[in-house]
């Protein structure tokens, strides 16, 4: 009897030890940020997307002008590699991924808003022109649902025109655009992400007002629904998805454009927002993408032309570990992340 009791005690102890070890692995690094290798070309108003475990930082702007630049980041080695330039230099645009290819859409360059769409294939390192977006615009966002790209909102020109509520759907297989139902609140400078077949539009602003609002778009029904507000109103933020939750990162608020390090997590299943660990470097007009259960916040700026010599582009890259194990690493990596998760710029 003693021997049986000892065996059961030993088994219980081993089981408890394994459980504690697993817990320490899964939860010990929750809500933690780590600095990574700098982006080679410092910039803001860029867009990033993930394909096959690598992040592509595309376009943007710095003190040298509007950029064609494409740089590939491999989180496994913490290294950056230069890739083929985008044909159209642009900033304040959006990128999304469908079937392993990145689509760069719209944006601004040299005082013009753009409708140009260009497809990048990372396997061949080549760019191909596609059908123009019907509504030229910048400061907008795109997200993907069921292989279709949804271009949402934005600003149709310079000189302070009001943002538009327009939603246009792009099908890469046919290279055609279709108009869909307008967004409830016209806005620019926001970010969007997709979860479970729905798109979530977060933050942004219009005509001097900065939003905390969240709106959900369901392409299957072509309907919009208001959802819970984000706690911190801001524009120039970026969003990314991990484990079916949306992370709203950084951004700008206030009349003097205060840069934020704020991170908030939105759970669509519960329609709730929660504050998470702050990003080490406060900034806006950045871009974020997800790879293998980690979120990478890339570039942006923390200085906003307040009579002190202009914006200062950042090369900062910071990795966020939420502590949760990804449900599907491959699926998460292919979610569109533009200002987009874009990631819009002003």
- Say yes or no to pLDDT of 173 above 50: yes
> Would you place residue 303 in the very low, low, confident or very high pLDDT band (cuts 50, 70, 90)?
confident
Q: Provide the strand spans (E) within 13-89.
A: 32-35, 47-51, 54-58, 61-62, 65-66, 70-74, 79-82
The residue with greater pLDDT, 309 or 191, is 191
Q: Who has greater pLDDT, 208 or 174? A: 174
Q: Report, as an integer, the average pLDDT of 133-154.
A: 98
pLDDT of residue 40: 98
**Residue 9 reports pLDDT greater than 80:** no
Long-range contacts of 60-68 (CB under 8 A, 24+ apart): 60/91, 60/299, 60/313, 60/345, 61/91, 61/313, 61/345, 62/313, 63/310, 63/311, 63/313, 65/89, 66/90, 66/91, 66/108, 66/109, 66/110, 67/41, 67/43, 67/91
Q: What percent of the chain has pLDDT over 70?
A: 83
CA dihedral 116, 117, 123, 124 (to 10 degrees): -40
Backbone CA torsion sign across 240, 245, 250, 252: positive
Cα→Cα distances 59→104, 107, 135, 162, 291, Å:
9, 10, 20, 25, 20
pTM for the structure as a whole: 0.87
Three-state DSSP state, 154: coil
β-sheet bridge partners, residue 286: none
List, in sequence order, every residue forming a beta bridge with 275; answer none if it has no partner: 264
Strand bridging mode 54-58 / 70-74 = antiparallel
pLDDT of amino acid 56:
99
For 49-74, how does the pLDDT look when each residue is reduced to its tens digit (9 = 90+)? 999 999 999 999 999 999 999 999 99
Please, which residues bridge with residue 109 across strands? 112
* Cβ neighbourhood burial of 181 (10 Å; 0-12, 13-18, 19+): middle
Q: What per-residue confidence (pLDDT) applies to 208?
A: 86
Q: What does the pLDDT average to over 140-154?
A: 98
68-101 pLDDT per residue, tens: 999 999 999 999 999 999 999 999 999 999 999 9
Q: pLDDT at residue 162 above 80? A: yes
- Strands of the sheet containing 126-130, edge to edge, are 94-98, 101-105, 117-121, 126-130
- Which of 205, 300, 225, 228 shows the shortest CA–CA distance to 259? 300
What is the rounded CA–CA span in Å between residue 94 and residue 86? 13
Cβ contact 46:68 at 8 Å = no
Task: Look at residue 192 in the predicted model and tell me its pLDDT.
Answer: 98
pLDDT at 307: 39
Confidence of residue 200 (pLDDT cuts 50, 70, 90): very high
- Mean pLDDT for the chain overall: 87
Query: In Å, what is the CA distance from 34 to each residue of 79, 80, 250, 286, 341?
Result: 15, 17, 16, 17, 20
Residue 175 has which token pair? 């290279």
SS3 12: helix
Q: How confident is the model at residue 324 (pLDDT cuts 50, 70, 90)?
A: confident
In the numeric block, the tokens 């470097």 are attached to 281
Which sign does the torsion angle of CA 192, 193, 197, 201 carry? negative
| Cα→Cα distances 185→201, 226, 263, Å | 10, 10, 23
Check whether 266 has a pLDDT greater than 80: yes
Per the CB < 8 A criterion, the answer to whether 34 and 319 are in contact is yes
Among 73-77, 264-268, 303-307, the least confident range: 303-307
Protein fold of 31-342: Neuraminidase (2.120.10)
């Amino acid at each position: 009897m003693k021997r049986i009791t000892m065996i059961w005690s030993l088994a219980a102890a081993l089981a408890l030890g394994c459980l504690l070890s697993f817990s320490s692995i899964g939860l010990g690094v929750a809500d933690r940020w780590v600095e990574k290798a700098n982006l080679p070309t410092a910039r803001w108003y860029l867009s990033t997307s993930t394909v096959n475990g690598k992040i592509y930082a595309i376009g943007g702007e710095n003190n040298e002008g509007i950029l064609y630049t494409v740089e590939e980041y491999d989180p496994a080695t913490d290294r950056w590699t230069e890739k083929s330039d985008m044909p159209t230099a642009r900033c304040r645009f959006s990128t999304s991924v469908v079937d392993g290819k990145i689509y760069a859409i719209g944006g601004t360059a040299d005082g013009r808003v753009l409708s140009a769409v260009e497809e990048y294939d990372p396997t061949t390192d080549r760019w191909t022109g596609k059908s123009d977006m019907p509504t030229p615009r910048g400061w907008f966002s795109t997200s993907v649902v069921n292989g279709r790209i949804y271009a949402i909102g934005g600003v149709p020109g310079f000189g302070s025109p009001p943002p538009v509520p327009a939603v246009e759907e792009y099908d890469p297989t046919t290279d055609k655009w279709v108009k869909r139902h307008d967004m409830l609140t016209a806005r620019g400078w926001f970010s969007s992400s997709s979860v479970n077949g729905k798109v979530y539009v977060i933050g942004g602003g219009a005509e001097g007002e900065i939003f905390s609002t969240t709106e959900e778009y369901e392409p299957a029904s072509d309907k919009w629904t208001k959802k819970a507000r984000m706690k911190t109103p801001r524009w120039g933020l970026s969003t990314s998805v991990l484990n079916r939750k949306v992370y709203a990162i950084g951004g700008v608020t206030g009349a003097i454009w205060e840069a934020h390090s704020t991170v908030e997590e939105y759970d669509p299943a519960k329609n709730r927002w929660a504050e998470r660990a702050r990003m080490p470097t406060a900034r806006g007009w950045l871009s974020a993408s997800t790879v293998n259960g980690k979120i990478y916040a890339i570039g942006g700026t923390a200085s906003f032309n307040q009579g002190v010599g202009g914006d200062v582009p950042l090369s900062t890259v910071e990795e966020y570990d939420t502590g949760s194990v990804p449900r599907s690493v491959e699926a998460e990596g292919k979610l569109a992340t533009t200002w987009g998760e874009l990631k819009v710029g002003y």
